[in-house]
Amino acid sequence: MDGQSPIRELKGVGEKTQKLFAKLDIHTVGDLLTFYPRDYETFQKPVGIAQAALGEVCAVYGCVWGILGEKRVRNLHVLNVKLSDGTGEIFVTFYNMPFLKKVLKKGGFYVFRGMVQSRGANKLMEQPKLFSLDDYRKIEGQLLPRYSLTKGLTNQALLKYMRQALTFYGFLPERYSGSMLERNGLISERAALEAIHFPSGREELLQARKRLVFDEFFSFLFMMRKSKDYGRQITSEYRIQETADTVRFLERLPFPLTEAQKKVWQEIRGDMGSPYCMNRLVQGDVGSGKTIVAVLALLMAAANGYQGALMAPTEVLALQHFETVQGYVKKYGCSFRPVLLTGSMSAGEKREAYGRIASGEANLVIGTHALIQEKVQYHSLALVVTDEQHRFGVRQRERLAQKGAQPHILVMSATPIPRTLALILYGDLQISVIDELPADRLPIKNCVVNTSYRATAYRFIAKEVEQGRQVYVICPQVEGAEDAQDGFSGEGGAPMENVVDYTEKLKSVLPSHIQVAYLHGKMRPGDKKRIMEEFASHTVDVLVSTTVVEVGINVPNATVMMVENAERFGLAQLHQLRGRVGRGEHQSYCIFVSANEKEEVMERLKILKKSNDGFFIASEDLRLRGPGELLGVRQSGEFSFQIGDIYTDAAVLQQAAREAERILAEDPDLAQEENEALRRYMETAAENAVDFRSI
């Protein structure tokens, strides 16, 4: 068995399980091994009930004082018991577990593990896990990995397959030389995979994580720097000069550009008129007005008789850009002849779009990365803009070059990256920064609250909707099933809200004329598009969503952003979410709801109240977490690294960059014997690895 072996080769994986795995994009044993846990649950020593902190998952050990009560609420069977341990008492509620009546003996001693909540002056646990002291002792201190699963596949089943895969996984040659491992303080890949899924303790887990993060960063940096065009200025065949079109467009725009926008626009004009291809990154906080700058560059290309392409990470965003541009054509009569090209269009629609692109009739192509696929032949593609970057790699750039002359490239990003990191990640790009927001913006009002504030929040939401505004509510999960087993997850984790159930809940608490809909990444593209359109056109008042709305969506009428389980997100990500409101003339509000009331957690979230500056927030986030402090694997969202996080793993990123430079200087073709395994690895990995970064 090796990394390429189909998942079906594992014992117990039949057609049904294979389909479940496919949903998680796991097709081979290798895919399974790199399906890293979302976080880890620690079974800590039981604490005295008096010490059990509200909002935290604790284990308590005590004596059950009989069944307090049993009732039925609609379909729900409710069982209440009370536990005491000499330091205090805690009430415990179980749902739909009538058999416990027989199991829980009056005067018996048990360990209950669950989230500690309050009910009036009393402490309460709902649906805790139940253990005998002996059983609990066996798992005490262990870290149990938890995966982001799909309905039908339990954590336990996954662990069983993982164990099997690791046991039968063939000999894995170590790709790094002994000296490289030593220099960088890395454990072997094999040991890392073992420990990331079955850690014996925290220290081992951190070592494993470091190795896997290093691998990801190193492969990416090495391949990026090795690509033939890295850092090289390419002579451009498209000298694009400013024309009256952009000047007229700017005159007609209802607002003046900010000074920062003007400066960046000037830099772009300079690049496009120079003898070399532009290769520029525009960084600007959410709402700083990057789209207009991109539109100006595209308009300049069109006015010179060339084609431009605007590539967005999602269909929803592509469609939104398309509509914005169509609006400009109507209002300001600019010379765009735009065409939309996305993966979900019908074959007929696509064919028509291809035709218009090939003939040059369309001079602006807007779409997802369907627009750089083989079938698309351009007439004269002179400029490619990628919005919110995402999966536009060196390889894509090469692919574009094969379609004609190398176009100018402009990358728009709202990811706040400190300069030192930007130089590593975007070393081959010129960087422009839009460091100013349009002046007419009212600052967003923020609050960080606990879950008891929800009722107030719902009243507020209803009020805003009455006044014609719209609302986003963000939940971390799509559906409840994956965590239904025990209702909570993660170290110190509180229950996680999910989009599907939350939507139902909101529908029942909000006045019935308020239209609530939901959106998440697992929906079909057509459905997503429809919901987004309904929200944009104000057929929907309240949109409950996962973080898919994080990127780029512009609905200026939306004024409330409520984030559930805010403690689960990185500050940079919360800042991006906040950027979805405060985009219009109305006062906007952000409500960050934390299900964990621990002081550090609340303090971290309160940084969002103090500052609106994405760079500051990202660096504070890093400072407060401390690199490597984070056990769980967080997706940075902005970058497509699977496990590495550019903020928390900044030190490893720097280390990987130094190592990549060293090897490129000493043995760029990996021809030396000690780099033989690395060379073979890089050859097979080349296909995927360059896609890590967006550019």
Interface positions with ligand ADP (CB under 6 A): 255, 257-258, 261, 284, 286-292, 414, 438, 440, 552, 554, 556, 579, 583
Name the binder of 440 from Mg ion, ligand ADP, none, CB < 5-8 A by kind: ligand ADP
Upper half-sphere CA count for residue 213 (Cβ side, 13 Å): 30
Nearest Cα to Cα of residue 204 among 261, 145, 148: 145
The pair of structure tokens assigned to 131 is 């253990």
Least gap, CB of 470 to ligand ADP (angstroms): 15
The burial class, CB within 10 Å (0-12 / 13-18 / 19+), for 44 is middle
**Amino acid letter, residue 578:** R
Binding to Mg ion by residue 637, rule CB under 5 A? no
Q: Contact region for Mg ion (CB under 5 A) — 151-159, 167-175, 321-329, 547-555?
A: 547-555
CA pair distance 321, 536, nearest whole angstrom: 12
Nearer to Mg ion, 490 or 552 (CB): 552
Name the binder of 583 from Mg ion, ligand ADP, none, CB < 5-8 A by kind: ligand ADP
Which residue's entry shows tokens 């990549």?
Answer: 660
Q: Contact region for Mg ion (CB under 5 A) — 121-129, 394-402, 551-559, 578-586?
A: 551-559
What DSSP line would sit under 280-306, residue for residue?
EEEEE-TTS-HHHHHHHHHHHHHHTT-
Least gap, CB of 411 to Mg ion (angstroms): 12
CA pair distance 443, 403, nearest whole angstrom: 45
Least gap, CB of 455 to ligand ADP (angstroms): 32
Binding to Mg ion by residue 570, rule CB under 5 A? no
For residue 385, list its beta bridge partners: 310, 410
CA pair distance 307, 380, nearest whole angstrom: 5
Name the binder of 575 from ligand ADP, Mg ion, none, CB < 5-8 A by kind: none
Q: Contact region for Mg ion (CB under 5 A) — 166-174, 186-194, 389-397, 549-557?
A: 549-557
Size of the site for Mg ion (CB under 5 A): 1
Nearest Cα to Cα of residue 680 among 668, 688, 671, 689: 671
Least gap, CB of 290 to Mg ion (angstroms): 5
Binding to Mg ion by residue 579, rule CB under 5 A? no
Which residue's entry shows tokens 């402009």?
Answer: 410
Least gap, CB of 464 to Mg ion (angstroms): 24
Which residue sits closest to ligand ADP, CB atoms considered? 289
Nearer to ligand ADP, 613 or 667 (CB): 613
Nearer to Mg ion, 308 or 552 (CB): 552
Report the length, in residues, of the chain: 695
Q: Where are the alpha helices (H) located in 333-402, listed in sequence order?
A: 347-359, 394-402
Longest dimension (CA), the chain: 87
Binding to Mg ion by residue 614, rule CB under 5 A? no
Residue in 128, 552, 570, 614 binding Mg ion, rule: CB under 5 A: 552
Which residue's entry shows tokens 């072997």?
Answer: 188
Which residue's entry shows tokens 């805010």?
Answer: 566
Nearer to ligand ADP, 295 or 371 (CB): 295
Least gap, CB of 260 to ligand ADP (angstroms): 9
Which residue sits closest to Mg ion, CB atoms considered? 552
Least gap, CB of 255 to ligand ADP (angstroms): 4
User: Which residues, in sequence order, are CB contacts of 231 under 8 Å at separation 6+?
Assistant: 225, 427, 428
User: Which residues, in sequence order, are CB contacts of 556 under 8 Å at separation 6+?
Assistant: 583, 584, 585
Least gap, CB of 286 to ligand ADP (angstroms): 4
Using CB under 5 A as the criterion, which residues of the chain lie in contact with Mg ion when the complex forms? Answer: 552
